[in-house]
Amino acid sequence: MKRVIVGLSGGVDSSVAAYLLKEQGYEVIGLFMKNWHDDSVTISDECPWLDDSNDAMLVADKLGIPFQTVDLSVQYKERIVDYMFNEYEKGRTPNPDILCNREIKFDVFMDIALELGADFVATGHYCRKGTIKKKGTEIHQLLAGADGNKDQSYFLCQLSQKQLAKALFPVGELLKPEVREIAKTQGLITADKKDSQGLCFIGKVRLPEFLQQQLKPKEGVIVEVNESFETYSIAIPEFDSKEKELEFLSKKPVYNLSDGKVVGQHQGAHYFTKGQRKGLAVGGTKEPLFVIDTDVVDNVIYTGQGKNHPGLFRNALFVTNEELHWVREDLALNNGETMSVIARIRYRQPLEKAVLHKVKSGLYVEFEKKQSAITEGQFVAWYIKDELIGSGVIS
């Protein structure tokens, strides 16, 4: 009998995942990961991990499976929290959930599971795994979840073949309402629990307060850049190579204080991210202001009015070789090669047509349509049909 360790998070998805595996005849063990001790930055009336671990325990009890809690807070701090501070300091916007899957759930946690004699590790993610044979080798596919509204393949975009080989996603074939229905029928306490928000396994965190622990507030100005700013209307020059054109298209405009007018103050450019609208606290504009760029060196936030401001849009981005990852190593491009794909630059974004261009220094992703708020430090993921084949950090 194959042994599966389920990461029971105290939510409905992982609860049903455990139930389904048991039904399929696996020997199932539930493990709850405790990743966070500092309740001072979580929103006070909720102590999420305590409630969640209780719910996970009750579910394990109901299903009659062994259950234990593992404390991964040291690794979580090193690999996720420190990384977040570091990225924000550089003026990039990290995606802790993707990192948490790569570094914690399918690495530290997976190692613990394998030590406990597990054949597989399962989570409640809405995605599917496929396996194909190519020249006698087994290749694992990361496929979108059957519920298009809930598909979470994007969050797993950094997984490797080795990690996928040991992964199971039991709810990936189901729709969310079906998952809730199973939980109800089985009398699982998590049936009506609302979906968790906030950082993976930390719960709801007030981000500015969380960041202020390490990144000290520092007053600076908010500058509004008019949409008639000359850089936006520069005609695209003729280039003698596609690579030079892509370099031009993927470069973000560089702003100076003289390119706009000062409209307000802020407490630190590193607390803000591109495309952000909340928290600017500047009134009196016809349309709301959106962040179009942050300068963490000079501590300036550049903004523009309305979500169609030209400063928000461009149609190419770059990923360096160090931050490029192929889930399907067999499909990795060589220098000079291109590939037509569909891609997204954030979770929940509809997939958009794009072309990948591999160059010596990395990879360009050129979108057919201009994309809003391409943000450094976030992940771009690309697919062929419903299979996620690679991803990278936007540089």
User: How many angstroms separate the most distant Cα atoms in the chain?
Assistant: 69
Active-site residue, 100 included: yes
Q: How many CB atoms lie within 10 A of CB 152?
A: 21
CA–CA distance, 152 with 124 (Å, rounded to integer): 10
Active-site residue, 127 included: no
Q: To the nearest 10°, the Cα dihedral for 132, 117, 182, 203? A: -100
CA–CA distance, 254 with 43 (Å, rounded to integer): 37
- Residue 102 identity (one-letter amino acid): R
The residue among 291, 324, 317, 326 whose CA lies nearest residue 305 is 291
The residue among 10, 6, 344 whose CA lies nearest residue 169 is 6
CA–CA distance, 214 with 313 (Å, rounded to integer): 31
> Is 151 in contact with 351 (CB distance < 8 Å)?
no
Rg, C-alpha atoms of the chain: 23
Q: How many CB atoms lie within 10 A of CB 2?
A: 13
Catalytic center residues = 100, 200
